[in-house]
Amino acid sequence: MVGIPADDLTEIIASRVMEVDGKPQFHVRIGRPKLAPEGRSWFCAYEIVGPLTNRRGRFGGEDAMQALVNAIYCISVDVESCAENAQGRLSWFGDFKDFGLPSPPIRSEGEVSGPK
């Protein structure tokens, strides 16, 4: 998307603190979805900050809901692949495997979402 403002995280709508080595040092923040400047699509910014991780990202969608869901899927992937997790140091309420984030859906080629 073109023309997305540099500071997308002015209004945080959700956050999570996770532990690194048992200490609350890993922060995930999600900004309010915003209509893109061109007025047709939406984007949702997020930030992940830990001792070894400093990631800001955003993901778009056709509406605010899709942008938010897509951003949460990106956060899930970013948290799973961060250095703190790769080193086995990241946990959430003592759990080192389940961080309470949804995994992106994997669909077969040609599969369509919706009622079956």
Q: List, for residues 63-104, the tens digit of each pLDDT value.
A: 999 999 999 999 999 999 999 999 999 999 999 999 999 988
This prediction's pTM: 0.84
Specify whether the CB–CB gap between 3 and 53 falls below 8 A: no
Best CA proximity match to 9, nearest among 34, 26, 27 = 34
Distance CA 112, CA 13 (A): 30
Best CA proximity match to 37, nearest among 65, 5, 66, 69 = 5
Q: pLDDT tens for residues 18-66?
A: 999 999 999 999 999 999 998 999 999 999 999 999 999 999 999 999 9
